[in-house]
Amino acid sequence: MNHGRKKPPRGNRRASDAPVDGNRIRPEKEVDGNRLHKESFVDGNRLRPEKHVDGNRRRQDSRATSRPKKKAGARLDIYRILEGAWKKAEAGERADVHLSQVFREKKLPPKERLKLIGYSQALFRWRFFLPEALRFSEALDWACLLDGLKTPDKRQVDLRTPLWKAKALPPVEQRLQWLSRQFPGTRIPPVERALPRWLAGGLPADANPVETATALLLPARLWLRTRVPLKKLAAELGEEGGSLRAHASLSDAASIKTKKDLYYTDAYKQGDFVIQDPASQAIGRLCGALPGERWWDACAGAGGKTLQLCDAMDGRGVVIATDTHEGRLRELRRRLAAAGRHNLEARHWQGDRPPKGPAFDGVLVDAPCTNSGTLRRNPDLWIRPDVRLDELNELQARLLNLAASRVKPGGKLVYATCSLLPAENEEVVSAFLERFPEFRPVTIEDPLDGRGTFEGLLTFHPQDGDHDGTFVAVLQKDRNSPEVADDGES
């Protein structure tokens, strides 16, 4: 194994790193279009088992040769799939979309899907710290070890220092120290150097990049928003239910440890819980929707916060959920039907005019953003080459303008992102308040990390708790403002 280290490739550049001759990470070597896999080929020919008398192969030999061939195919397939996901992310595309396509084409069962997701997350999370000279398959193996996973083909990796024995993963710093002992003479970069350039350069001036990077390198725990008593949900989930742990601050939130895909459980299908990060749940709670009110969720997506609004209103009143993606709305309608909530209208939206009808008591704009606070959950963002922040800012401002036109006097406008960048958060809100002086921030209390009260604007930092990084601004329209005219779209 070559333990030397080169500089990262262009697609994997972080912070102040520079590319080397514009080269990227190379996959395993190929001969005539075929990837070499251990000693599978000699002089271009695949090794064949010996034949026996009269051309018959002994039964024992048949079993011995067929099993390795099946495993080798599975190993090669996994590495190729993940290499494809890596290349998509290098090009600025979403790796999860590539994996979803693979899942559909290969009709993989839930257990295999979860394995591939785990492997891919480990790869994107740790590749920056590994020596560049490693082949793709070797880098994946080491990344899996750093995340506490078995290697895809369960082969042994030559360790100079034994792997930690603790059941829980050690801190990030300790894992990087362990890695440096595996590659003596190779300098492992400081943890803050792992931050993508677009993220590191956009953090607030008082941010601690070491704390931010360390928090974002931790795997995200699986959190639920329970819609039934916790004991009932634990019983419905069976063996997995025994690992449910209630959140310290959010009464409806609970974490769970499981290797099963919860989307296939009866409890999920009947709407007894929603998979939702605590920071997202906190934003839904800060909306403060009340029974009998009328709300508009402008960027509903698959509807986690939409359902939370419906639950807060206890089925009374109405929530209009819009999104530009019809596929997301189909999932939203399914989730609402399973949850037994009928106080919702899901509409496909062009994004140019607000919905018609009476003005709203509240509007939630969960705006598209860089997703910089979700690197724990979407680690392919670690190698995103760049972001189009100017385009996102233009979209965020336009959505707020549309939302403001439909808030009734005294009503609320809630702006939220899953970003850590002030350019998408405080600066967007500040510019909006200059355009619409009839809105003002209202005093809110931190429902998640218990940091006291804030004047309307609040950022949830991943280093403050086991959750994503998000931002929320709760604004109220002056009660003396003119009444809102009905000039939306149907």
Please report the sign of the dihedral spanned by the C-alpha atoms of residue 173, residue 371, residue 439, residue 311: negative
Q: How far apart are CA 374 and CA 363, in angstroms?
A: 24
Q: How far apart are CA 43 and CA 477, in angstroms?
A: 76
- C-alpha dihedral, 405 to 407 to 408 to 414, nearest 10°: -150
Active site residue 287: no
Are 296 and 354 within 8 A, CB to CB? yes
- Angle, CA 331 vertex, CA 362 and CA 335 arms, to 5°: 70
Any idea which residue has 């680690």 for tokens?
379
Token duo for residue 426:
């405080």
Please report the sign of the dihedral spanned by the C-alpha atoms of residue 31, residue 35, residue 41, residue 46: negative
Residue 57 corresponds to which amino acid? R
Instruction: Say which residues have a Cβ less than 8 Å from residue 331's Cβ, sequence separation at least 6.
Output: 302, 303
Q: How far apart are CA 88 and CA 102, in angstroms?
A: 13
| Marked catalytic residue, from 144, 299, 369, 418 | 418
Catalytic residues, which ones? 418
